[in-house]
Structure 1
Amino acid sequence: MIEAADLMLATLHGRPFSDPDWLFELKYDGFRCLVVKAGEDVNLWSRNGNLFNGSFPDVVKAVEATPGDFVWDAELTVDDDTGRSDFERLRQRAVTKTPKNVRAAVKSDPARLYVFDALSIGSEDVRNLPLMDRKLHLRDSFENTRTLVYASGIPEEGRLVFDEVENLGLEGMIAKRMDSTYQRGRSRDWLKIKYQEYGRPAALGWGRK
């Protein structure tokens, strides 16, 4: 059984780089989310093993509508009107629990799930496959919607990706070795490069990556 403790974690790296063996993804300012679907049962787990289901029924509904069984690695966000992740609005949604307030929050601050990796597809555990093979499986498993978004990444051009991070004032980027397998815990096959100028706040216990 795959659990939140099995998530792969990135190692902090000091500066952006370009390399043909690496894939570069935007680092969203959200909560890390392990998405588990088995039949009609869907669970959204935080990195710390907390369930997000009650506060994010819109995301649960979108995952329920996706065919098949799977385990995904993703980032849960609430985006502002410009498309940037807004961590404060996300945090407010996460602490909203009463059904009436949750329904209102779904309308005012809809959540989004950026899906960037697959741990299993159907009955097949794909963690031993190279990253790019896992990405192919993932890309074929669902269509982009307003709630579910496939995070593709850009190969080789890390410095260009980081230029975009700086231009947009985003949190940073994640560099991933393209031939790496999915490993439990922290690994140097995944590197996080943060854009420090905006002084993002420290994690508040929900399991940001």
Structure 2
Amino acid sequence: MERIDQDHIEALRHSRRSVAISIPAPMLPLKGLRRPFTDPDWIYEKQYDGFRCMAAIDDGQVRLRSKGGRTCTAWFPEITKALQMLSGGPHIIDGEVCVLDENGVSHLDRLQERARKRRLHPVSPAVTFAVFDILMHDGRSVMDVPLTERKRMLRKLLSSLDETSLLCVSDMPASTDLDVQVEGVIAKHLDSPYLAGVRSDAWLKIGRRS
């Protein structure tokens, strides 16, 4: 109980000393599901079923913002604590907060129970921040940089951390057969820029194989 309360207090303190930079609205895939396809100009990511979150980090200060624009730094203190360890800044990264089981499958119902309380509590399930994009690196906007280069920068930025609450989302072959427990796949054009607040045809939701 004491450790949990201390983590929550630390998150509150950092939310009050929030990063001053503006966090853009997230880029979104087109609505609707597309049939699976294989194309060398696209990459394919496992889709996690969770809570879309943007994070701004600058010299140990962290601010988390929900897809709807709410500051949610204090809701997920273990993620805030992990991101405080990132060097340099300002950085802005994009990802999904989720609750993963031992097989790496995300469970939205467990996350919703946690999120309703707006804090970490004694019986809270642990959350993971599955990060898949970067918008700003060391104070420089990289939204116009091709997706594959942004992903390389993100992996390098996170490579120095050994934190179980952070997961860098990797690519999957387009031919992967999706297990029924896998939420889905997002196909992304490898040269696409990051279009803040836009539903772009460079990101497509792929349905499960029948």
Q: Is the 8 A contact 2:23 2:92 kept in 1?
A: no
Unaligned runs of 5+ in 2: 1-20
Tell me: CA distance 1:196–1:89, structure 2 relative to 1, closer, same or farther (3 Å).
Answer: farther
Displacement of 1:55: 1.9
Quick one: which amino acid aligns to residue 58 of structure 1?
E
Identity %: 35
Unaligned runs of 5+ in 1: 198-209
Query: Aligned pairs, how many?
Result: 185
Displacement of 1:131: 0.3
Q: 2:132 aligns with which of 100, 116, 122?
A: 116
Deviations 1:65-87 (A, max 9, x none): 12122100111101123321010
Quote the residue 2:202 is aligned against: 189
Q: Is the 8 A contact 1:171 1:194 kept in 2?
A: no
Q: Is 1:127 matched with 2:140?
A: no
Give distance in 2, aligned partners of 1:97 and 1:127: 30
Displacement of 1:47: 0.5
Quote the residue 1:176 is aligned against: 188
Quote the residue 1:149 is aligned against: 167
Q: Which structure 1 residue ranges, 4+ long, deviate > 6 Å from structure 2?
A: none
Quote the residue 1:26 is aligned against: 46
Cα RMSD (Å):
1.9
Q: Is 1:57 matched with 2:77?
A: yes
Give distance in 1, aligned partners of 2:122 and 2:88: 30
Q: Is 1:140 matched with 2:139?
A: no
| TM superposition score normalised by structure 2 | 0.82
Tell me: CA distance 1:90–1:196, structure 2 relative to 1, closer, same or farther (3 Å).
Answer: farther
